[in-house]
Amino acid sequence: MKGLVAAAWTLDLVQLVLICQSVYHYLARNWGNQNVLGYSTLELGMHLVPLTGATLLCQGFFLRRVWRFSKNLPLTLFLAAACLTTGVIDIIMAIQTVSNLSLNTVLSHKFSAEVISVFAVGAAVDLAIAAILCWYLARELTIFDRINNLVARLIQYTVATGLITSLLALGCLIAYVAAPDGLIFMAMHFSLGRMYTNALLATLNSRKVLRKQLAPPTLRWSRPTEHSVPAFTHQSELATQETQEFQLKDVRELRDERTALNSIVISTNDAFSTRLTGVAGGGEGGGHEEDVRELHLEEW
């Protein structure tokens, strides 16, 4: 996972540097030169390459989850083929843009079919991945409230991370169809790769918090201190007698209480763990199924 995060960060940084260089070329180096606006830059055309790489890495991460939950090879391969298709089209458009830096290439709608297919297929794939993961997560619901709460949180994260990229791709598609000569879709497309990276990082950062919900509850106790011992200030004979009887609880009795409490904690944890990994109705087959469910949630 560290290598995946490092690669996604690196590709996202490279894309950001290329975009910043293009902005510097238009707004600083050639300020007021309108003739420059009719031509793209080499960096602006090449930014599609790291964007495509970051997108494929993040989509591959989510496809890996689809495979782990579904074990459906045809479904996973179909989604992977759709992701690779959009990536190949992006690379082809980058090569053609670099070979001809004139903006007339874009304004002539030469790549209309390619642009529409990239945005439409990308949005459809992201929605499909999110829907499939939510469906398989819903199958992990049990009779235990703690696991059900965890599954509900996972579904919320899946919907959020899947919708944010799908909505942006859909927005790029609408902007291109509505105003292809306005280049508004290009400004929105600059952030698409970063949205995938943020979705990946948000998912990875949430795992530590979510896994804490799988830990079995533990009982804690604190040793009585002198501040917790009631003080009898009255000097009556009854108060003095009660104070002396209360102070007869020595260290040995406290140790006996601690030993008994520890045995309760151990037996409680063992019983909870056995119940969590067992079946609601009993049986060896059900136990195996619950183990698989626990493994799935741990791998999340």
Checking if the pLDDT of 287 tops 90, the result is no
As a whole number, mean pLDDT of residues 112-136 equals 87
Q: Exposure pattern of 244-256 as b/e (b: 16+ CB <10 Å)?
A: eeeeeeeeeeeee
Checking if the pLDDT of 134 tops 90, the result is no
Locate the domains of the chain by residue range: 2-212, 237-299
pLDDT tens by residue, 206-243: 777 777 666 665 555 555 555 555 544 444 444 444 44
As a whole number, mean pLDDT of residues 290-300 equals 51
Mean pLDDT of the chain: 74
pLDDT of residue 277: 44
pLDDT tens by residue, 35-89: 887 788 888 888 889 999 999 999 999 999 889 888 889 999 999 999 999 999 8
pLDDT of residue 288: 47
As a whole number, mean pLDDT of residues 185-195 equals 85
As a whole number, mean pLDDT of residues 16-37 equals 85
If you write DSSP's letter for every residue of 238-300 in order, what string do you get?
HHHHHHHHHTT--HHHHHHHHHHHHHHHHHHHHHHHHHHHS-SS--HHHHHHHHHHHHHHHH-
Checking if the pLDDT of 244 tops 60, the result is no
State pTM to two decimals.
0.66
Q: How does residue 262 score in pLDDT terms, banded at 50, 70 and 90? A: low
11/47 Cα distance (integer angstroms): 10
As a whole number, mean pLDDT of residues 191-219 equals 76
pLDDT of residue 223: 57
